[in-house]
Structure 1
Amino acid sequence: MRRLCRTGATLLFGAGIGASASRLLSSRGGEEEEEDRPALLSRVPVIPVPRVQASELTVTPGGTGAVMKYGFPSLANIKTRESYVTSYDPRTRTASWVIERLNPASLTGPSDRKRCDFKEDDSVHMFHRATSADYRGSGFDRGHLAAAANHKWSQKAMEDTFYLSNVAPQNPHLNQNAWNNLEKLCRSLTKRYLNVYVCTGPLYLPRQEDDGKLYVRYQVLGRNHVAVPTHFFKVLILEQADGRGVELRSYVLPNEPIDEKVPLERFLVPIETIERASGLLFVPNIMKRTGSLQAITDR
């Protein structure tokens, strides 16, 4: 294991991110792994980031300018919707990331999911967009990145989450169980924090094969070759209601069934793990906004 130090504290950093999903699920947070079983999912604590002005914290839903308060993880193919912002990857036919802001006001309202249907994103060139036909008979769910239930405040906002550019192929068991529980956790955190910023995206992680080399392999669906992620990530930026600062949490889940007995805390990872694996950057944006970053080792 390698250790990454910041501001006098220590975070566990996985020696590699190419483990198979079964190895990831069997890893135990904080324990050294065998050399052939690199630990991606080391258990790490919440990271508090101080010095956010209370006057900057808002509770009204909508407004994509507020959604991007902590900057863009990348700058390619940015698209703005009613209540989320996304960066689209035309090669994979899915988003690289989606950012949304949750608070009690965004989670309540008159919207009706039954009035929503998945739809092609006609802002994407026809060569590079996914269609529902790509998913049909594939055995994968159309998994939301920005969850529909996060945007009940507006029918338009909820309908915008059904663009296929906000969707990625997801194992049905994962989508309906562990991933759904993680989405519920994000919503429940709005009871403790003023705003919950959620960045979600796919990962395509390498794994070691029989020849001892690392390869990135993933399935594609349909005539448009929609990429099936090997994993998904969520990065949470939690604004404290008293204005003292924000906290940072980050999760990585494999795109396969997860035993319901495995707690979500098992999938907490250092933010650097996601930054290295995805090519995105979160910490520099937060530091620019808040002025400092302090890591701790215990909650």
Structure 2
Amino acid sequence: MQRLFCSRWIISGVSLAVGTGIGVALSGASDRFHGENNLLRKIPVIPIPSVNAASELLPYPQAQLTPSKSTAAVKYGFPSLSHIRSRESHVTCYDARNRTPAWVIEQLNAGTLSGTSDRKLCDFKEDDSVHVYHRATNSDYRGSGFDRGHLAAAANHKWSQKAMDDTFYLSNVAPQNPHLNQNAWNNLEKYCRSLTKHYENVYVCSGPLYLPRQELDGKMYVKYQVIGKNHVAVPTHFFKVVILEKKHGEVELRPYVMPNAPVDEKIPLERFLVPIESIERASGLLFVPNILKRTNNLQAISAKA
């Protein structure tokens, strides 16, 4: 599959209509983001894929274990399988090594955003379905300087007190810079909620990234901090892939990446749109894998200053 780059450039102050599929290539996945002002750089506009889910569903191949010597090798069990957990409000894949989610996916619509659930009744809690060796605790975050950043946002699930409570499991949380969590990331969450007014369903997949950066010796390294006695990994960046479902079956993707650092909330959210492939390559994940993303479905939409 090919991606075509447009010749136009995003500049500060871009105005975009709600519902358009516009993306921008992040200027290097390993940008250092030294200070807030380093975020404003010219980056090329690229199209976001729009596909028809009704006509282009493809079977997703499943791994099969055929009888052989390999079956004998796992006589005493598999060291690990996918750590998938289904909650009232979201589904998460837990990264036992990093003590954070690998990804969290949730469905938003008008129904999930309304209700009488009260955040004040919720408390962050350990996920006792995670083995104690791999579990994050509240004490890991205490005094660390990082927020317990929700991946599935509590405000997305007012429809049920249990649904909101479930977002407070630490298996739905990653260490997040307070300035990012309370400002730009919060704005992105609000924007996702606003999209429910224009789309049938809004599916949001969020997760951490650990991106490489070039050091003084000219080589690329993946380096990140860990916090607490359980060594909870601090992501270098976060992604949010928004899957917009239209009434007639079309699906539109809007992939965002933000650095886990202070971000000027005056920067338009469109500045953080990236090609979906950049997140897939960096995360090892594939989004909407059962939908064929064809080149002829790409819609190049011009940005208007």
- With normalisation by structure 2, the TM-score equals 0.80
Identity of aligned residues (%): 67
1:121 to 123, 127, 145: 127
1:18 to 13, 27, 30: 30
Higher Cα radius of gyration: 2
Q: Deviations over 1:95-142 (max 9, x none)?
A: 000000000000001211110000000000111010000000111000
Partner of 1:56: none
Amino acid at match of 1:153: W
Q: Deviations over 1:217-254 (max 9, x none)?
A: 1000000000000000000110113x141111100000
User: How far has the Cα of 1:260 moved from its partner?
Assistant: 2.2
Q: What is the CA–CA distance in structure 1 between the aligned matches of 2:218 and 2:232, rounded to whole Å? A: 28
1:222 to 225, 228, 231: 228
Amino acid at match of 1:296: Q
Q: What is the CA–CA distance in structure 2 between the aligned matches of 1:27 and 1:92, rounded to whole Å? A: 31
2:286 to 277, 281, 299: 281
Q: Would you say 1:106 and 2:112 are equivalent positions? A: yes
Q: What is the CA–CA distance in structure 1 between the aligned matches of 2:178 and 2:195, rounded to whole Å? A: 25
* Counterparts in 2 of 1:296 and 1:10: CA distance versus 1, 3 Å: farther
Q: What is the CA–CA distance in structure 2 between the aligned matches of 1:270 and 1:292, rounded to whole Å? A: 14
* Cα RMSD, aligned residues only: 2.4
User: How far has the Cα of 1:25 moved from its partner?
Assistant: 1.5
User: How far has the Cα of 1:200 moved from its partner?
Assistant: 0.1
1:263 to 263, 268, 271: 268
* Counterparts in 2 of 1:80 and 1:283: CA distance versus 1, 3 Å: closer
Partner of 1:147: 153
Unaligned stretches of 5+ in structure 2?
7-23, 63-80
Q: Would you say 1:249 and 2:254 are equivalent positions? A: yes
Q: Deviations over 1:174-210 (max 9, x none)?
A: 0000000000000000000010000000000000011
- With normalisation by structure 1, the TM-score equals 0.81
* Counterparts in 2 of 1:188 and 1:117: CA distance versus 1, 3 Å: same
**SS class of match (2:291):** helix
Q: What is the CA–CA distance in structure 2 between the aligned matches of 1:13 and 1:227, rounded to whole Å? A: 26
Q: Contact 1:45/1:249 (CA < 8 Å) preserved in 2? A: no
Aligned residues: 261
Q: What is the CA–CA distance in structure 2 between the aligned matches of 1:118 and 1:137, rounded to whole Å? A: 15
2:54 to 52, 55, 58: 52
Q: What is the CA–CA distance in structure 2 between the aligned matches of 1:298 and 1:275, rounded to whole Å? A: 23
**SS class of match (2:2):** strand
**SS class of match (2:278):** helix
Q: Contact 1:91/1:128 (CA < 8 Å) preserved in 2? A: yes
User: How far has the Cα of 1:79 moved from its partner?
Assistant: 0.7
* Counterparts in 2 of 1:71 and 1:208: CA distance versus 1, 3 Å: same
User: How far has the Cα of 1:296 moved from its partner?
Assistant: 2.2
User: How far has the Cα of 1:83 moved from its partner?
Assistant: 2.0
Partner of 1:297: 300
User: How far has the Cα of 1:86 moved from its partner?
Assistant: 0.6
User: How far has the Cα of 1:154 moved from its partner?
Assistant: 0.4
Amino acid at match of 2:207: G
Unaligned stretches of 5+ in structure 1?
31-42, 54-69
* Counterparts in 2 of 1:293 and 1:249: CA distance versus 1, 3 Å: farther
Q: Contact 1:97/1:201 (CA < 8 Å) preserved in 2? A: yes
